[in-house]
Amino acid sequence: MKKVATIVIATACLTPLAYADDLGMDGHKLVEPDCDAMSSWFECRDIESAPEDVRRGYEYMHNTSETLGPFGSVKYPDGTPYATAATACSSCHFTGGHVPFGTPVYQSPSKYTPDPLTGLGPYFGPMGYFRDLEDSVIDCFRNCMNAERSPSKSDPVMRDIVAYIEWVADGIKNPEMRENWRLLPPEAGPGLPVIAGLSEMQANPRQGERLYERQCAKCHDKDGPGAGEYRIDEGRPRTPALWGERDGHSRAAAFYRNGVMAAYVKTHMPYGKPDTLSAQQALNIAAYINAPDKPRPNGLADDFYCFDDPDGIPASLRKPADWLVGCTYPGEREYFEAQGIDYEDMVRNGPWSSLTAWRSARIEELSAQ
């Protein structure tokens, strides 16, 4: 009997660095939720007794390449695959979104519930619109699965994925917590841990390369540097690609931010030995993986933060300091380069405190006008 526990800074797709010699990222268990530890607030349940649409959604989340990918059996009516990247939803959302601090999904239905006064879901800063749960799934297809197009909100695949996510959320025992994800206990980990002092740290991608070779390459270089291991005969990746023109996470994915990637690496990697790297080591590995010489899809990254927020403040001033995407506020690059600072290297590798302070000062000035 397969029991599934149900539990994001994960606002966009992530690509984890997990490995199992005979347990694939796509559809095969990597990290088991600790049902006993979660029992005070969450109930693990048998996926095999779930409704049919939930079981289909489970398969799409766990076996994305096998079901929705180029070699999968589920395609659009014209034969176009739903996903092209050799990765899976579970490549980011451990065990299909059931592991605390493993980018879980159990809080998602509550998080994306429209506001009763405005009828709008939460504001999505990178794209400047209010989105619901289906919108967030669409963004994952576009920016994480490198899909040629995204499913509509009424698409059967979309409905099954949403049914699965809602079923996961139903495992939360307390109705108030189920309705308001902010009431979940700290150990529920609805996101990734925040690395203390991150804004003052500076990544060293060269040291990250050496660490990667010792800690990551055994699994993630099986099919070539950063290419993971894809089994054509199985139609799925055993380990996900970390870069590549088609299979790596895109620049529009949250894991393209070194701070986010570092939090994931430190918390969950190396596989089987989580939380054994220091924060600095994890940040160095993240900087190597996301280095500019690594090919990867672009997604919608060029369009990010190129508008004013609803309060009139340019969105580029609220862009995470470690995300080199989209538009830049006029004069920002020039200000730092006039001080002899390599602007792009600062955004990629930190430290980020001075950039954050500069943007905050501009927001304060504009707000006072």
- The domain spans of the chain are 3-188, 198-289, 305-368
Per-residue confidence (pLDDT) for residue 191, from 0 to 100: 82
Per-residue confidence (pLDDT) for residue 230, from 0 to 100: 65
Per-residue confidence (pLDDT) for residue 233, from 0 to 100: 59
Distances (CA, A) of 202 to 284, 285, 353: 8, 12, 10
Per-residue confidence (pLDDT) for residue 12, from 0 to 100: 39
Give the separation between CA 262 and CA 271, rounded to whole angstroms. 14
Question: What number of other Cβ atoms are within 10 A of residue 75's Cβ?
Answer: 15
Per-residue pLDDT of the chain (369 residues; tens, 9 = 90+): 444 443 333 333 443 333 233 333 443 344 567 889 999 999 989 899 999 999 999 999 988 888 998 878 899 999 999 988 777 888 788 778 888 888 899 999 999 999 889 989 999 999 999 999 999 999 988 888 888 888 999 999 999 999 999 999 999 999 999 999 999 999 998 888 889 999 999 999 999 999 999 999 988 887 777 777 766 555 556 778 899 888 788 999 999 999 999 999 998 888 888 889 999 999 999 999 999 999 998 889 999 999 999 999 999 999 999 999 999 999 999 999 999 999 999 999 999 999 999 999 999 999 998
3-188: CATH number = 1.10.760.10
Per-residue confidence (pLDDT) for residue 241, from 0 to 100: 84
Per-residue confidence (pLDDT) for residue 235, from 0 to 100: 55
Q: Which two tokens stand for residue 289?
A: 């993986």
Q: Which two tokens stand for residue 33?
A: 């939720």
Query: In this structure, are residues 43 and 246 in contact, taking their beta carbons and an 8 Å threshold?
Result: no
Per-residue confidence (pLDDT) for residue 31, from 0 to 100: 53
Q: Closest Cα to residue 91, out of 214, 215, 225, 247? A: 247
Which letter, b or e, does each residue of 95-120 get, where b requires 16 or more Cβ atoms within 10 Å of its Cβ? bbbbbbbbbbbbbbbbbbeeeeeeee
Beta bridge mates, 239: 229
164 conformational bin, left if phi > 0, alpha if psi -120 to 50, beta if neither: alpha
Per-residue confidence (pLDDT) for residue 147, from 0 to 100: 85
Give the separation between CA 325 and CA 306, rounded to whole angstroms. 10
Domain 198-289 has CATH 3.40.50.300: no
Give the separation between CA 271 and CA 223, rounded to whole angstroms. 18
3-state DSSP assignment of residue 124: strand
Total-model pTM: 0.87
Lookup result for tokens 């006072």: 368
Per-residue confidence (pLDDT) for residue 239, from 0 to 100: 79
